Chain A
Amino acid sequence: MKRRIFLMGLAGAAGCTHGRPRLNVFNWSNYVAPETIPDFENEFGVRVRYGVYESNEEMLARVLSGNSGWDVVFPTHSYVEPMRRLGLLAALDHGRLPNLDQLSAAFRSPEWDPGLRWSVPYMWGATGIAYHRSVRPAPSSWADLWRPDLAGRMTMLDDPFEVLGACLKKLGFSLNATGERELRLAAREAVAQKPLLRAYLNAEVRDQLVAGDVLAAQLWATTAQQAMDASPAIRFAYPREGFGLYADTAVILRESRRKPLAHAFLNYLLRPRVAAAVVQATRTATANGGALALLDASVRNNTTLYPPAEVLARGEWFRPMPAAAQRLRDRLWTEIKSA
């Protein structure tokens, strides 16, 4: 018993910080530039504890308790509404966020959070097909991922929303379909695809694309861009039938005891200079129009990260599902995986 107390004391002492106030930020990996956090720490005289995660579920599992210790997290847009309903978010005080008008027009009042009462869009992206240039004819639609000549060399994302989304789009339905008939047809497509499928992979497939193990992959634009940076043989296509869009947003947790500082951090991230630096370091698509204006034309014209308007029009934002549809999708995902 004594040992336990001693150890706890030790751990507590180790974690103890004197002096400067602290901010705990939990973000996706690779989403800030090396100088972003240190510059914030110096300017505001604070210390930032910066943690990273790889999936929304990981973040949500920690944050769901309501006493996780984090102040700012970055959920994907379709999680903002559920998190709000679960009482996890703090309402944003726009008075403390003067830089909000730096956001691109499309993100000023998005469909998942009109008026930006709870979240601040940070980075956005889309899902498409990354492929090796040796694939002929070049893939241009989701249906191309069902081609027998790609058997064993093709991967899909390990995410029920993405996989079912691609199948739904291939069949001409909406990405966010909730009807049983549409979803079952989509599931059937996915099961039909399985014999051809090499694996369900997320960002890890980037290395296999570059190495040539994988010829075509359902992949996010930002990850595809990273692959393209590593190898000139990789191309990216936005499927003809349409594709999914996502945006990672910054929110302040209700449990946070440092809300003014958290607001200051969000406002800092919205500065065009800061956002531009992040974009240059991470090669992601920013929601910050002010930052875009500062960047090189080659960045703005990058069709992978910033597709032209007519391509973007085919995109559809993911939406959170009502309970019954969620249940059905879960079940279908289990069926697909067990097939």
Chain B
Amino acid sequence: MRRLLAFYAAAAYAFLHLPVITLAVFSFNRSRFTVWEGFSLAWYRAAFRDLQLAEAAWNSLLIAAASTVLATVAGTLCAYALWKRRSRLIVASLMLSLVTPEIVTGIALLVFFQGLFRYLNLQLGMHTVVLAHVSFSLAFVVVVVLARLRALDPALEEAAMDLGASEWRAFRDVTLPVLWPGIAAAALLAFTVSFDDYVITSLVAGVDSETLPMVIYAMARRGANPVVNAVSALIVIALGGLVILSERLRRR
């Protein structure tokens, strides 16, 4: 049974990584089309020289980091409060956020920012993108953390409070430690969703806030562009390396 499960997991990982591996392989293709014409690093050189790509990648990271932190903190606290006592309004609003198609969220935020900024004389930019990302990540975080909380036994906290701990201490010392895997999973989801977002970002981005998906989308729309493949391969290697590194550090 375990063997079967491991085999299945391997197949699932293969399925998930197949497109990226294909991209990586063809990033070394000399030709820009899908016929293999020989090994070449030309596209990698082009990717490194491309300042626009570099700036977009940096923007994406910054935005994803900022929105993940904000959404995870706000979302975790909110999920905890909801676990203790449901609030119809909050629940309904988060539901609304989840149910809204991306294009609608994007348009709604765009129109909202436009109206607001007309009075404040501001423009679209990094800040609007971060705010937009927080707005759609929040619901994801709450859902994941709440699902995890539901599996917890509320008696634990009650016991702690019976022993004299305050509500805050009960949360911090009893629930939070057990909650970390859920929070980590939620943060991971929020980061992914933010880093990968194209639709909403493209609508609320300003002149100076191009993100990686926007640049890649534009490049890919014009047809197969191995520079895109090279960039994708680089991202996967870089982030994969980061993940493995963090894994090593944690184990120490």
Contacts and interface: CB of A to CB of B under 8 A. Distances in A.
Interface stretch (A106-114, A190-198, A199-207, A330-338): A199-207
A40 B123 CA distance: 26
A312 B67 CA distance: 53
Given A4-B70, A7-B130, A15-B126, A29 B222 contact: yes
A3 B130 CA distance: 12
Interface stretch (B81-89, B110-118, B175-183, B239-247): B110-118
Nearest to A24: B207
A61 B203 contact: yes
A204 B217 CA distance: 12
Contact of A69 (B33, B206, B217, B218): B206
A62 B69 CA distance: 28
Contacts of B34: 207, 211
Given A61-B110, A206-B223, A68 B206 contact: yes
A334 B174 CA distance: 56
Interface residues of B, number: 33
Interface string B111-152: 001100110001111110010000000000000000000000
A30 interface: yes
Interface string B183-207: 0000000000000000000110011
B66 interface: yes
Decide if the interface of chain B is mainly helix, strand, loop or mixed.
helix
Contacts of A10: 62
Contacts of A30: 222
B210 interface: yes
Interface residues of A, number: 33
Interface in A44-59: 49, 51-54, 58
Contacts of B127: 7-8, 11
B221 A204 contact: yes
Given A53-B218, A61-B203, A211 B208 contact: no
Nearest to A22: B207
A206 B221 CA distance: 11
Nearest to B221: A54
A65 interface: yes
A313 B66 CA distance: 57
A230 interface: yes
Interface of B: 33-35, 62, 66, 69-70, 110, 113-114, 117-118, 122-127, 130, 202-203, 206-210, 217-219, 221-224
21 contacts: A3-B66, A3-B69, A4-B70, A7-B62, A11-B126, A11-B209, A14-B126, A29-B222, A49-B207, A53-B218, A54-B218, A54-B221, A61-B203, A66-B118, A67-B123, A67-B124, A69-B207, A203-B222, A204-B223, A210-B33, A211-B35
